[in-house]
Chain A
Amino acid sequence: MAADSSSGGSAIPGRPAGSQVVAYQAAAPNAYEWTEVAYEYLLDGKLAASIRTVGGISTATVTGTCPYCKDDVNFSEVLDAVTSESMGTLSRRTAQPIPADDGYVPLTVSCSCIRQHPGRPAGVSHGCGINFQVEVRRDA
Chain B
Amino acid sequence: MGTPQMPSRPAAAPALPQPSAPPKYRKPAAGPTAESLADRVRWQELSEQSLSSAQAVAEKWRTGLAAFVTLATGGLLLKGPSAASDVTTGWRIALTILALGGLLAAIAGLWLALQAAAGAPAKLNLAEVVAKYGGVRQFEVACALAVSAQLRLARLVVAGALLLFVAAIGTWWWAPSEPAQLPALISITTSRDTVCGTLISGDSRAFTVRLANASGQVQVPLAAATSVQIVASCLPAVADGLGGRQPSAQREGSYGAVRRLRRRRTPS
A positions within 8 Å CB-CB of B? 30-32, 34-36, 39, 42-43, 49, 52, 54-57, 59, 76-78, 80-84, 103-104, 106, 108, 110, 131-137, 140
Q: In the complex, are the beta carbons of A134 and B25 less than 8 A apart? A: yes
B positions within 8 Å CB-CB of A? 22-28, 30-34, 36-37, 39-40, 43-44, 46-47, 50-51, 53-54, 56-57, 132-135, 137-139, 141-142, 144-145, 147-148
Q: In the complex, are the beta carbons of A39 and B30 less than 8 A apart? A: no
- Most A Cβ at <10 Å: residue of B22, B32, B43, B54: B32
Q: In the complex, are the beta carbons of A42 and B25 less than 8 A apart? A: yes
Closest-by-CB residue of A relative to B27 is A39
The answer for the CA separation of A82 and B54 in the assembled complex, in Å, is 7
Of the candidates A34, A59, A131, which one forms a contact with B37 in the assembled complex, judged by CB atoms under 8 Å apart?
A131
Q: In the complex, are the beta carbons of B31 and A34 less than 8 A apart? A: yes
The answer for the CA separation of A83 and B48 in the assembled complex, in Å, is 11
Give the Cβ gap from B49 to chain A, nearest Cβ, in Å: 8
Give the Cβ gap from A62 to chain B, nearest Cβ, in Å: 11
Q: In the complex, are the beta carbons of A140 and B40 less than 8 A apart? A: no
Q: In the complex, are the beta carbons of B53 and A84 less than 8 A apart? A: yes
Asked, given contacts A30-B34, A132-B32, whether A82 binds B27 with beta carbons under 8 Å apart, the answer is: no
- Most A Cβ at <10 Å: residue of B25, B26, B135, B144: B25
Q: In the complex, are the beta carbons of A30 and B145 less than 8 A apart? A: no
Q: In the complex, are the beta carbons of B31 and A132 less than 8 A apart? A: yes
The answer for the CA separation of A104 and B28 in the assembled complex, in Å, is 10
Q: In the complex, are the beta carbons of A35 and B31 less than 8 A apart? A: yes
Query: Could you list some 17 contacts between A and B, CB below 8 A?
Result: A30-B33, A35-B27, A35-B32, A52-B134, A54-B134, A55-B133, A57-B134, A57-B145, A77-B44, A78-B135, A78-B137, A81-B144, A82-B51, A84-B57, A104-B26, A133-B36, A136-B25
Of the candidates B36, B46, B50, B142, which one forms a contact with A56 in the assembled complex, judged by CB atoms under 8 Å apart?
B142
Closest-by-CB residue of A relative to B23 is A137
**Which chain A residues border B39 with CB–CB below 8 Å?**
108
Of the candidates A76, A83, A104, A131, which one forms a contact with B53 in the assembled complex, judged by CB atoms under 8 Å apart?
A83
Of the candidates B22, B24, B31, B138, which one forms a contact with A78 in the assembled complex, judged by CB atoms under 8 Å apart?
B138
Give the Cβ gap from B45 to chain A, nearest Cβ, in Å: 9
Q: In the complex, are the beta carbons of A133 and B31 less than 8 A apart? A: yes
Q: In the complex, are the beta carbons of A35 and B53 less than 8 A apart? A: no
The answer for the CA separation of A49 and B51 in the assembled complex, in Å, is 27
Q: In the complex, are the beta carbons of A133 and B47 less than 8 A apart? A: no
Closest-by-CB residue of A relative to B26 is A135
The answer for the CA separation of A81 and B22 in the assembled complex, in Å, is 28
Q: In the complex, are the beta carbons of B135 and A59 less than 8 A apart? A: yes
The answer for the CA separation of A31 and B32 in the assembled complex, in Å, is 8
A78-B138, A81-B46, A137-B25 given. 20 additional CB < 8 A pairs?
A30-B34, A32-B30, A35-B32, A49-B25, A52-B134, A54-B133, A55-B134, A59-B135, A81-B43, A82-B50, A82-B51, A83-B50, A84-B57, A103-B22, A132-B31, A133-B30, A133-B31, A135-B27, A136-B25, A140-B24
What are the 8 closest A-B residue pairs judged by CB atoms, nearest first? A82-B144, A82-B50, A140-B24, A133-B28, A32-B31, A81-B47, A135-B26, A35-B31
Q: In the complex, are the beta carbons of A31 and B31 less than 8 A apart? A: yes
Give the Cβ gap from A57 to chain B, nearest Cβ, in Å: 4
The answer for the CA separation of A43 and B27 in the assembled complex, in Å, is 10
Q: In the complex, are the beta carbons of B142 and A55 less than 8 A apart? A: yes
